[in-house]
């Protein structure tokens, strides 16, 4: 009690002198000295009671001390006042042990630092230091020590410390203090803490470098010596931060700082414990920064640095704590070695000629996203005019992953809260999509007549709109839309679609119109009287009769047929085998790269084995060995075998020569079952092949007896995006371990480091009754190699996916892939099978060709619902749009979509419910060209199509353009915004299944945030998915809308058409780390199960008004809380993120 009273008396006495501090110096000096002595007392109870009294916020003792410190000019008094603050912010170890000292820090230091930061103590003490440093002969070492210690502690707490130092111009002041006192052991440590904080800011560190901090730090390290100590660790920490600047690296190399660093590194074995690890870490990272500059690499090599680094790799302790250092050292060695590039041309072996649009001098507006009936403006002549240039995007996974998309960010508006207005298409132009909503107009005679009036085949030639190297709409260019050629007049309408038009004046046109109207009228009557027949069958029968009776109209009617079905399926006999159907379809597919066969797994269905495969457990010793092997090969390249055993570029040249002599049609087939068991005796290595649909393998180099380096193809017309692989292997020996190193991967991290295995398909196993893809491979590792990526960031390198496989049979034919392939021909085969198995009396199932792709392949559009009923008209049902495969390498998205379609066509109760409630419009493959040609991210235009939804180009992005047109027709013409939109994706860096959605509260735009929305609208589906799907992870869902994502499908549909349930559903390439499937891979059966679960969840949304009414305000608030989670849209868990720009993880071998 007496101690508390004395503390109160001293503080009150100081407060009484505050009004006139310089007139009461003796009193202030006496009270401050006594209070300081009590704060620094050796008696623990006295010290703690005094400190507790000082930092107590409501008593205002700390603001009092700060005010006196600012006002008093006496250095002795200032020293006592600063000492009080020093004791408040400095933890004392004492004799009670480390734990007690930590408790002291938590109890006193943290509140005191918070108070000082909020009171702007940083600026005050910096100002005082600047004033006193101007009179070097008058400032005492003790006062300087106290002030520097306080500022050192504040620098670690104040997040804006560097900014405050820069704004006050005190960076040079601190440098001068360090320059004058680098030999002062008492003052050096807090000064280094200050510089550790300053060096983290790039701008401040640049100021310091220009002021000569490099030479000062060299003197500091020399004065400290090479013995391990906290000061040496702090010094190296400062240099590690400073060398992020190339200017600093240049100065270090010129001032012979590099030999000093290497001497410290050379003595690493003399250090012990955690100090060794920290000193090594900072030294190695500093050397890594130096190696990123030419002069730094030269300095390292001239100082015998490569030998020292190689010696470290050899002698590095086999301890887990050093696993993060070895990749960095290997990186420095690879960087300093002579530049090593891949043994291939920089571009792909084949380029695709993009459409060249015609320039017409007409007074029309820019029609980048407008009607195809309009004349192209001059801005359309080059893709770059409308933002449709061939861009390169970061290798990411989902719709929300491209943080580097500067083009889209710049398009988001000119102001901080600007959103570009949507470009709406002409109403007449949108009417071309009426043909894709035929189910809405066959319910009554009046509606049928209306449909007859407006759905007239267009005879106008497409050629007037542009000439293409490859016609983006194909040979069949006629669309069902309003015939505006002869002055058609349309009333503005929404929803009713009742149009008035003038009769054509031309007799031939009048005859054509009347004939088509008569045929359509017969078609409508036939549909109503033959409910057991599918609409397409009836329509095809009617139109086929028309074509046979009037050959002059055969061309136009055949084009109409194409809109009602898929020509690629038209001549496949109904009773054909699946193998025959697949080969017939694949033979008609247009490819950029030549194909010579169909892949056996795809021909027989492409399913996995259906088993649960556990995730791979990474062996850190194996990965260390692989990394060391990579270093050895960089240092001794002559030890490699270096034999090219597969070269796609050369094979394509041979095919080009052969095609000159053979102009016949392409007939693809597969004879793998006859090939198994036969060995090529002239070749003693594995044989490779990738010339089939979705295949990707460019070159194979044998580097060891059973080891091969594999180089992947980039996306078409690109030099990057290497991730997807799919190839055939044969001529193997059983029970021999073969190692495959895919050496041109680009992503800095991969699920291969966290349990993912590649997949393998054996033809012999399939013949013996065990078909299916299986997870295979051992010794799996993902690490940086020594091949320089000439098209990446400055001085960047490729990474290697390495795995070993032991094949179970001699002379088998096996296929290896990144994930379960789902090529375009497999999709079309499945559509053919579904069309034969569906009962039209129970399910309305129609397939249309939405448009033609850039390479003249059909884009299937599926319509699924229940047949029209008097009590439940199709036109009254909500519309749901589903899309998938905008990124061709995300084949898991197709398997999930397969599960969705298969479930919708089933007789499950939930399937019947959703068919009765919704009309499903499904585009199962948005980027079929990328899928066909084995691309990973882009299509033929080298653009991420999921960044083109806001302003798609009709000719460069036809599938996106027309898919968006369907939705716009639904929202504006039918006056019925889609109930839901969902885009299926795959994710290569996260596990489980999860959803991305949109909400106003999570938007980057202030206008969005000012408008409230009902969180139940977009959160109910994720909660239902968690209930139905064993692989779904609700906590991974995110509903933020970021500016750089404005051009994605999810955000565009949400913003432009008001679809509040606009989602991206992400499925992992790997597996699950939670729930029922925790620790296992996802097989095709599980992916299809996810698609079915999505339908089951939608069935529970049927009675929307009912469950909304049952939601309590508390439950709604709990649901809304999910949107406030600070989760990055594209970031995996922290344990799976690398903070190392060179390697996949700091814990590569864990």
| Residues acting as catalytic residues | 1066
**What φ, ψ does residue 344 adopt, rounded to 5°?**
-145, 165
Return the sign of the alpha-carbon dihedral for residues 264, 267, 271, 274. positive
**Residue with token string 């009912």:** 1106
Helices and strands, number each (H, E), in the chain: 44, 20
The Cβ of residue 1050 has, within 10 Å, a number of other Cβ atoms equal to 27
> What's the distance, CA 1104 to chain centroid?
33
The two three-digit tokens of residue 1088, written as one number: 């299809």
**What φ, ψ does residue 703 adopt, rounded to 5°?**
-115, -10
Helix (H) or strand (E) holding 1128: none
- Strand-strand pairing, 778-789 and 796-806: antiparallel
Beta strands in 697-812 (DSSP E): 699-704, 707-711, 726-730, 737-745, 759-762, 774-775, 778-789, 796-806
> What's the distance, CA 807 to chain centroid?
34
Rounded to whole angstroms, the Cα distance separating 402 from 398 reads: 8
**Residue with token string 């032991």:** 806
The two three-digit tokens of residue 94, written as one number: 């004492």
Residue 1062 and residue 1041 in contact, taking contact as beta carbons nearer than 8 Å? no
The Cβ of residue 98 has, within 10 Å, a number of other Cβ atoms equal to 9
The Cβ of residue 1034 has, within 10 Å, a number of other Cβ atoms equal to 16
Residue 915 and residue 864 in contact, taking contact as beta carbons nearer than 8 Å? yes
Return the sign of the alpha-carbon dihedral for residues 545, 549, 554, 556. negative
Residue 332 and residue 291 in contact, taking contact as beta carbons nearer than 8 Å? yes
Q: Which of 224, 226, 170, 229 is nearest to 195 (CA)?
A: 170
Rounded to whole angstroms, the Cα distance separating 830 from 578 reads: 9
Q: Residue 204: left if φ>0, alpha if ψ -120 to 50, beta else—which one? A: alpha
**What is the 8-class DSSP label of residue 160?**
T
Rounded to whole angstroms, the Cα distance separating 287 from 265 reads: 10
Please give the full DSSP string across 567-596, using - where no structure is assigned. Answer: GGGTTS-TT--HHHHHHHHHHH---SS---
CA distances in angstroms from 331 to 310, 629, 788, listed in the order given: 11, 13, 11
Residue 255 and residue 243 in contact, taking contact as beta carbons nearer than 8 Å? no
Rounded to whole angstroms, the Cα distance separating 1144 from 1131 reads: 14
Residue 642 and residue 700 in contact, taking contact as beta carbons nearer than 8 Å? no
Q: Residue 934: left if φ>0, alpha if ψ -120 to 50, beta else—which one? A: left
Three-state secondary structure call for residue 976: coil
Q: Which of 988, 1095, 1081, 1073 is nearest to 609 (CA)?
A: 1081
Q: Which of 210, 280, 199 is nearest to 242 (CA)?
A: 199
Q: Which of 927, 928, 965 is nearest to 945 (CA)?
A: 927
521-529: list long-range contacts, CB under 8 Å, 24+ apart: 521/448, 521/449, 521/452, 524/442, 524/445, 524/448, 524/451, 524/452, 527/442, 528/442
Q: Which residues of 1070-1093 are buried (b: 16+ CB within 10 A; e: fewer)?
A: bbbbbeebeebbbbbbbbbbbbbb
């Amino acid at each position: 009690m007496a101690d508390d009273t004395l503390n109160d008396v001293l503080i009150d006495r100081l407060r009484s002198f505050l009004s006139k501090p310089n007139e009461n110096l003796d009193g202030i000096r006496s009270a401050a000295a006594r209070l300081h002595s009590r704060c620094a007392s050796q008696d623990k109870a006295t010290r703690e009671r005094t400190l507790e009294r000082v930092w107590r916020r409501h008593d205002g003792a700390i603001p009092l001390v700060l005010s006196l410190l600012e006002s008093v000019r006496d250095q002795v008094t200032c020293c006592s006042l600063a000492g009080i603050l020093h004791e408040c912010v400095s933890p004392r170890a004492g004799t009670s042990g480390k734990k007690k000292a930590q408790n002291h820090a938590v109890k006193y230091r943290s509140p005191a630092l918070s108070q000082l930061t909020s009171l702007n103590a940083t600026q005050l003490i910096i100002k005082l230091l600047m004033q006193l440093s101007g009179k070097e002969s008058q400032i005492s070492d003790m006062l300087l020590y106290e002030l520097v210690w306080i500022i050192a502690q504040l620098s670690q707490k104040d997040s804006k410390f560097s900014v405050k130092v820069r704004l006050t111009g005190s960076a040079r002041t601190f440098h001068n203090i360090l320059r004058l006192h680098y030999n002062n052991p008492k003052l050096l440590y807090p000064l280094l803490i200050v510089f550790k904080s300053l060096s983290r800011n790039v701008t401040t560190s640049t100021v310091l470098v220009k002021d000569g901090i490099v030479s000062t730090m060299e003197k500091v390290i020399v004065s400290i010596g090479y013995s391990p100590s906290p000061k040496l660790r702090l010094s190296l920490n400062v240099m590690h931060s400073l060398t992020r600047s190339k200017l600093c690296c240049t100065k270090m190399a010129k001032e012979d700082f590099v030999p000093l660093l290497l001497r410290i590194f050379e003595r690493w074995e003399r250090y012990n414990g955690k100090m060794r690890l920290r000193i090594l870490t900072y030294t190695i990272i500093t050397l890594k920064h130096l190696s990123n500059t030419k002069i730094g690499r030269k300095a390292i090599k001239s100082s015998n640095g490569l030998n020292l680094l190689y010696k470290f790799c050899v002698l590095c302790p086999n301890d887990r704590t050093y696993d993060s250092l070895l990749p960095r050292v290997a990186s420095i060695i690879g960087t300093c070695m002579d530049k090593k590039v891949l043994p291939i041309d920089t571009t792909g072996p084949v380029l695709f000629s993009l459409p060249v649009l015609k320039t017409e001098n007409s007074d029309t507006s820019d029609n980048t996203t407008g009607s195809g009936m309009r004349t192209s403006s001059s801005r359309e002549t080059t893709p770059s005019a409308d933002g449709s240039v061939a861009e390169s995007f970061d290798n990411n996974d989902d719709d929300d992953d491209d943080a580097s998309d500067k083009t889209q960010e710049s398009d988001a508006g000119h102001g901080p809260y600007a959103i570009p207005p949507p470009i709406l298409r002409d109403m007449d132009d949108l009417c071309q999509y009426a043909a894709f909503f035929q189910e809405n107009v066959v319910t009554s005679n009046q509606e049928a007549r209306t449909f007859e009036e407006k759905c007239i085949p267009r005879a106008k030639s497409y050629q007037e709109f542009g000439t293409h190297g490859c016609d983006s709409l194909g040979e069949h260019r006629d669309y069902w839309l309003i015939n505006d050629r002869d002055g058609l007049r349309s009333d503005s309408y929404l929803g009713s679609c009742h149009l008035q038009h003038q009769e054509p004046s031309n007799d031939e046109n009048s005859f054509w119109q009347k004939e088509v109207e008569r045929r359509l009228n017969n078609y409508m009557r036939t549909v109503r009287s033959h409910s057991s027949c599918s609409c397409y069958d009836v329509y095809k029968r009617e139109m086929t009769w028309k074509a046979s009776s009037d050959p002059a109209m055969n061309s136009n009617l055949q084009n109409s047929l194409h809109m009602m079905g898929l020509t690629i399926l038209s001549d496949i006999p109904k009773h054909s085998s699946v193998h025959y159907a697949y080969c017939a379809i694949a033979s008609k597919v247009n490819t950029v790269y030549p194909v010579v066969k169909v892949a056996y797994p795809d021909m027989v269905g492409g399913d996995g084995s259906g088993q649960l495969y556990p995730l791979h457990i990474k062996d850190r010793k194996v990965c260390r060995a692989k990394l060391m092997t990579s270093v050895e090969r960089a240092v001794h390249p002559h030890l490699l075998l270096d034999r090219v055993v597969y070269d796609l570029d050369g094979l394509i040249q041979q095919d080009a020569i052969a095609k000159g002599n053979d102009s016949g049609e392409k007939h693809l087939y597969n004879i793998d079952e006859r090939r198994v068991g036969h060995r090529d005796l002239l070749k003693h290595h594995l044989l490779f092949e990738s010339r089939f649909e979705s295949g990707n393998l460019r070159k194979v180099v044998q580097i060891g007896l059973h080891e091969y380096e594999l180089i992947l193809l980039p996306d078409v017309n690109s030099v990057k995006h290497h991730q997807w692989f799919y190839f055939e292997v044969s001529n193997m020996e059983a029970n021999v371990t073969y190692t495959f190193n895919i050496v041109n991967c680009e992503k800095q991290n991969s699920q291969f480091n966290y349990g993912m295995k590649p997949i393998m398909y054996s033809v012999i196993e399939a013949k013996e009754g065990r078909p299916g893809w299986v997870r295979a491979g051992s010794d799996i590792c993902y690490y940086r190699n020594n091949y320089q990526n000439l098209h990446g960031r400055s001085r960047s390198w490729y990474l290697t996916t390495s795995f070993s496989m032991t094949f179970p049979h001699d002379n088998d034919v096996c296929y290896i892939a990144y994930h379960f392939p789902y090529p375009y021909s497999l999709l079309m085969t499945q559509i053919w099978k579904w069309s034969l198995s569906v009962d039209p009396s129970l399910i309305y199932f129609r397939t249309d060709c939405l448009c033609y792709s850039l390479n003249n392949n059909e884009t299937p559009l599926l319509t699924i619902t229940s047949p029209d009923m008097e009590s439940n008209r199709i036109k009254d049902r909500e519309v749901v749009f589903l899309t998938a495969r905008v990124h061709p390498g995300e084949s898991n998205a197709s398997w999930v979509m397969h599960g969705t379609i298969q479930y919708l066509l089933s007789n499950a109760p939930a399937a019947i419910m959703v068919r009765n409630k919704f009309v499903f419009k499904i585009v199962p493959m948005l980027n079929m060209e990328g899928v066909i040609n084995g691309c990973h991210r882009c299509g033929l235009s080298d653009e991420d199509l999921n960044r083109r939804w806001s302003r798609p180009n009709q000719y460069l992005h036809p599938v996106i353009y027309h898919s968006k047109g369907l939705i716009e027709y639904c929202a504006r013409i039918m006056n019925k915004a889609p109930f839901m939109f969902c885009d299926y994706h795959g994710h290569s860096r996260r596990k489980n299944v999860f959803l991305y959605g949109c909400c106003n509260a999570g938007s980057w735009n202030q206008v969005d945030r000012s408008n409230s929305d009902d969180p139940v609208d977009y959160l109910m589906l994720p909660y239902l998915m968690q209930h139905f799907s064993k692989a779904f992870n609700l906590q991974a869902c995110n509903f933020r809308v970021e500016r750089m994502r404005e051009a994605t499908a999810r955000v565009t549909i949400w913003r432009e058409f008001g679809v509040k349930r606009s989602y991206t559903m992400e499925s992992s390439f790997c597996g699950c780390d939670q729930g029922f499937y925790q620790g296992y891979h996802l097989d095709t059966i599980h992916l299809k199960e996810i698609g079915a679960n999505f339908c089951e969840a939608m069935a529970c949304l049927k009675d929307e008004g009912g469950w909304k009414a049952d939601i309590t305000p508390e439950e709604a608030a709990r649901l809304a809380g999910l949107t406030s989670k600070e989760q990055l849209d594209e970031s995996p868990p922290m344990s799976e993120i690398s903070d190392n720009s060179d390697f996949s993880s700091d814990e590569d071998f864990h």
